[in-house]
Structure 1
Amino acid sequence: MRASGKRTVVWKVVCGGAVLLLVPIMILGAQNPINHAATRPDHSDPLLRTRHYHHSLYEVRRTVQETISTLRTYGGHWQTVPEEGLVPLGLRDEPVERVIRVVVPVLVFKDDLTITLHGNSKETTLDVRSASRVGKGDFGENRRHILQLLQALDERLKP
């Protein structure tokens, strides 16, 4: 085979490989055209519904923080953003809202996770929102972040 024939074959293999790589990415992008996901009480996906735990806000908050320190994505640890100011503990019966912010590594990017807790000394509801910092589509990554967290919490807290 001549040198120009070998170059043609190599070129065809490279182009074919690129097409095989790009087509699934384009399909995933078309199926996931948004760059965020969130739980809510009436979500059509039962896995993404608001969680209700029969534990105090203090217990749930502590469990969330312990759980976050164990989670990893693509080899990188999730990191809690430090809270500022006075923090209500939720040890009494009056309702308290707490927000926990988390940074989730995704290869060279970072996604932001916001965990909102509403509760008192007896029960707590938990909602999660995950959003990509860049891009118009996330290929379902933010949904996976939420499900990873909720699965770990459900195992520990039993909703």
Structure 2
Amino acid sequence: MPHIVPRKNLYAPRPRPIGEMNVTPFIDVLLVLLIMVILASPQPVNVTPVDLPGNDPITPPLPIIERNTIGIDAADRLRWNGAVLTEPELRAQVSAAASRDIKPQLLFQPEALASYDKAARTIALMREEGADYFAFVGNEKYRDFDQ
């Protein structure tokens, strides 16, 4: 004979009220409010403060910097802004440029077939004469070599 286990009737009236509150709607409302706060808050941004120049009449305008191109052609001739000159003439030009108050920018642009020795001696000449504002130009043409 099977053993019968007596169970309480779950639907029977209880002598006291249920002491538990249903918190599911409360949690739903809190989640909605949390999402609203996240969406309404400003996004953090990396800011680097930069002082931009204004229209201050006291501040003088920036000087226009002169640019001079020093080149070496395939025949190892020196050029100053396209004009052929000798090494002493180039030394005089670089020395005059280095002694100015507003130093011009010296752009060194040798041709592809210019000798390395002539280019190295020209760079040494500019260094000896005190050319501080110096740049290599046109090197991007030689970044890919044909094989």
Answer yes or no: same fold by TM over 0.5. no
TM range (shorter): under 0.3
Decide which structure has the larger Cα Rg and report it: 2
Greater relative contact order (Cα 8 A, min sep 6): structure 1 or 2?
1
Instruction: Using structure 1 for the length normalisation, give the TM-score.
Output: 0.23
The structure whose residues are more often strand, as a share, is: 1
Instruction: Using structure 2 for the length normalisation, give the TM-score.
Output: 0.24
